[in-house]
């Protein structure tokens, strides 16, 4: 059975899932998307993901031609058509076919497509031993330029920082905001632990409010771990007892070195492990 893609209301073969070269999503990065996970056939926090998709679309004045429940059903239908229970789901909405000019009013109806597949961002051993990351020179987009809270198709800012990480021989990079505070990594939110307290940059620092980030905060609070959302500097990262990243695809991955500085004792810390284990338990509970 070949891979099926949901495209504008129809399930089509992967080879037939085509978008016009005149689509503004391709020409200008004019669109929004969500990355979602399913575990044992259950889609993790689908309601929250769809709400964020609609929020992003509203932020760029893009009308999604489906209601939230219709989109949720399309996700379920795509998973079923591909026989997937544990999967990564990509939902994309573009402005649609338009002219070569910028004017979005010249676009026809928005395009919507859903891809379900498998994804592995980091090798399994990094979840056991930890990840090394760097600080990127590329600054996070200014919120008054392209607001990072909009999960748009224009990811060039993130890609440039990702190139820096790859050039440095690492897989991820911390991005600072226009004030010099820690924002997030190229594809993940960031947490540190200091003296038993969990810290993470606030939404106002110019980050995407991650669904996995919110789940980890909720788990920490359930465990009685104090959580503080406040501005962090690179020095705060360097002197942290523990550090880890969160994201839909990455889940929870520990960080043991930043800019060649060892974090803690150079191994994933106990709070990181406890939160990661509980996240794993909750997402895979029957």
Burial category of 120 from C-beta neighbours within 10 Å (exposed 0-12, middle 13-18, buried 19 and up) = exposed
What does 189-253 look like in DSSP terms, one character per residue?
EEEEEETTEEEE--GGGT----HHHHHHHHHHHHTT--EEE----HHHHHT-SEEEEEETTTEEE
Which candidate, 191, 182, 193, places its Cα nearest to that of 233?
Answer: 182
CA distances from 221 to 185, 228, 235 (A): 23, 11, 25
Helix (H) or strand (E) holding 25: helix 24-28
Question: Among all residues, which ones are annotated catalytic?
Answer: 151
């Amino acid at each position: 059975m070949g891979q099926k893609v949901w495209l504008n209301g129809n399930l089509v073969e992967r080879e037939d899932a085509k978008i016009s070269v005149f689509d503004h999503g391709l020409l200008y990065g004019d669109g929004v998307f969500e990355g979602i996970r399913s575990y044992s056939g259950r889609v993790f926090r689908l309601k929250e993901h769809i709400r964020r998709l609609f929020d992003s679309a509203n932020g760029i004045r893009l009308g999604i031609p489906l209601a939230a429940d219709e989109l949720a059903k399309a996700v379920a239908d795509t998973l079923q058509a591909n026989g997937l229970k544990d999967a990564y789901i990509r939902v994309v909405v573009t402005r649609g076919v338009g002219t070569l000019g910028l004017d979005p009013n010249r676009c026809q109806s928005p395009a919507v497509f859903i891809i379900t597949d498998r994804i592995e961002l980091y090798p399994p051993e990094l979840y056991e031993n930890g990840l090394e990351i760097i600080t990127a020179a590329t600054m996070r987009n200014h919120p008054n330029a392209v607001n990072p809270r909009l999960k748009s198709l224009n990811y060039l800012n993130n890609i440039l920082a990702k190139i820096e990480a790859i050039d440095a021989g690492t897989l991820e990079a911390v991005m600072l905001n226009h004030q010099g505070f820690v924002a997030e990594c190229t594809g993940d939110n960031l947490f540190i632990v200091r003296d038993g307290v969990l810290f993470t940059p606030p939404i106002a620092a110019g980050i995407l409010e991650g669904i996995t980030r919110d789940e980890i905060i909720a788990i920490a609070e359930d465990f009685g771990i104090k959580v503080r959302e406040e501005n962090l500097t690179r020095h705060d990262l360097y002197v942290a007892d523990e550090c880890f990243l969160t994201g839909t695809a990455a889940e929870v991955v520990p960080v043991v070195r930043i800019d060649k500085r060892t974090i803690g004792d150079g191994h994933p810390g106990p709070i990181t492990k406890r939160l990661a284990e509980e996240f794993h338990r909750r997402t895979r509970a029957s």
